[in-house]
């Protein structure tokens, strides 16, 4: 059974809304495009027929009926590096946390630094009796002191609250301290009266954010998953894509069981009967394509797929 082993990535994906009867809607839309029956007969469809029409349109790569089923996700805690990759998918709708209002993540890092150093800091800037600037100054002092005096694990834990740190950089002490220094400089600028929209220029792109994204089933199956679930995708956006696929598989398994990275999508759209992604991962189904779209030769595809499902750096295992 495929399921994620949760590890401290700091990224959460929630499916907050979707076309509840999306599978039936896709099947009905498919039948409308290919059947000469009267409208009332098209709507009268049993579960077995739903299965047939979903499979038939997938096999034909006739995905326009899939556009009628839509899904809205809240992705929280990803970096702005990953969110900028996400918004490149143009057949989608987005609403993202304004960069100038990302201070909540930074404040969590500042408060952790305050607690580590035994400093008294207000939970919110407006709660400081001497005003917001004094609160910002306390946050800045705590962060810059932690950056200079704290042990690596202490600095890392504070930085993790506000920033996504790549697996390859988590043991690099000077890099982790640089994240905290950036946050400290940001608060020192606020303490001097610099506006947030200007102070944010000193923050790294790894700053966490949140975004609401809506996509239809066609965009997900035909474009997003093949590109972003693949090993060629950057590890963070790949992690997000696998989490999205997991959530969709819970509500509409008939639409998304054949979805996957480019190797699975190419294989399933070239064979007579598509197979579930789980079967390729577990070795119950073999690949027949000579190479995947990323030019990985057939013998190496199964191992490559398992790497994609594992997510680089051990940040989430789908097995």
Beta strand extents in the chain (DSSP E only): 4-5, 12-18, 70-79, 93-96, 208-216, 317-318
pLDDT for 100 equals: 85
pLDDT for 49 equals: 92
Catalytic residue among 228, 254, 257, 266: 228
Helix, strand, coil in percent for the chain, rounding step 5: 60, 10, 30
DSSP state of 206: T
pLDDT for 28 equals: 92
Structure tokens at 300: 């190496």
User: What domains are defined for the chain?
Assistant: 4-19+69-96+213-318 (3.30.70), 103-202 (no CATH)
- In order along its 319 residues, the chain shows pLDDT tens digits of 233 333 457 899 999 999 999 999 999 998 887 666 666 666 778 899 999 999 999 999 999 999 999 999 999 999 999 999 999 999 999 999 998 888 999 999 999 999 999 999 999 999 999 999 999 999 999 999 999 999 999 999 999 999 999 988 999 999 999 999 999 999 999 999 999 999 999 999 999 999 999 999 999 999 999 999 999 999 999 999 999 999 999 999 999 999 999 999 999 999 999 999 999 999 999 999 999 999 999 999 999 999 999 864 344 444 4
* CA angle in degrees (0–180, nearest 5) for 9-262-170: 25
* CA angle in degrees (0–180, nearest 5) for 174-79-95: 160
Structure tokens at 2: 């495929």
pLDDT for 51 equals: 94
Decide if 228 is catalytic.
Answer: yes
DSSP state of 192: T
Residue 72: phi, psi to the nearest 5? -120, 125
pLDDT for 45 equals: 82
pLDDT for 318 equals: 46
């Amino acid at each position: 059974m495929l399921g994620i082993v949760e590890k401290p990535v700091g990224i959460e994906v929630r499916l907050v809304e979707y076309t509840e009867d999306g599978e039936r809607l896709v099947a009905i839309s498919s039948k409308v495009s290919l059947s000469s029956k009267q409208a009332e007969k098209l709507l009268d469809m049993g579960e077995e027929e739903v299965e047939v029409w979903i499979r038939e349109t997938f096999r034909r790569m006739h995905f326009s009926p899939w556009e009628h089923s839509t899904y809205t996700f809240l992705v929280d805690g990803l970096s702005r590096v990953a969110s900028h990759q996400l918004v490149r998918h143009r057949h989608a709708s987005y609403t993202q946390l304004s960069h100038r209002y990302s201070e909540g993540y930074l404040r969590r890092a500042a408060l952790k630094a305050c607690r580590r150093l035994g400093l008294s800091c207000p939970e919110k800037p407006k709660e400081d009796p001497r005003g917001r600037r004094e609160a910002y100054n306390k946050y800045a002092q705590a962060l810059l002191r932690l950056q200079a005096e704290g042990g690596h694990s202490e600095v890392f834990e504070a930085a993790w609250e506000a920033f996504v740190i790549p697996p390859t950089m988590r043991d690099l002490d000077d890099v982790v301290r640089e994240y905290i220094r950036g946050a400290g400089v940001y608060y020192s600028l606020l303490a001097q009266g610099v506006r947030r929209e200007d102070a944010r220029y000193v923050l790294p792109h790894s700053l966490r954010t949140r975004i609401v994204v809506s996509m239809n089933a066609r965009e997900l199956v035909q474009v997003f998953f093949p590109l972003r679930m693949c090993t060629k995708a950057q590890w963070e956006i790949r992690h997000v894509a696998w989490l999205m696929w997991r959530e969709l598989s819970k509500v509409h398994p008939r639409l998304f069981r054949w979805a996957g990275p480019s190797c699975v999508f190419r294989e399933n759209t070239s064979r007579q009967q598509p197979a579930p992604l789980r079967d390729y991962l577990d070795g119950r189904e073999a690949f027949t394509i000579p190479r995947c779209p990323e030019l990985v030769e057939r013998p190496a595809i199964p191992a490559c797929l398992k790497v994609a499902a594992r997510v680089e750096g051990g940040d989430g295992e789908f097995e």
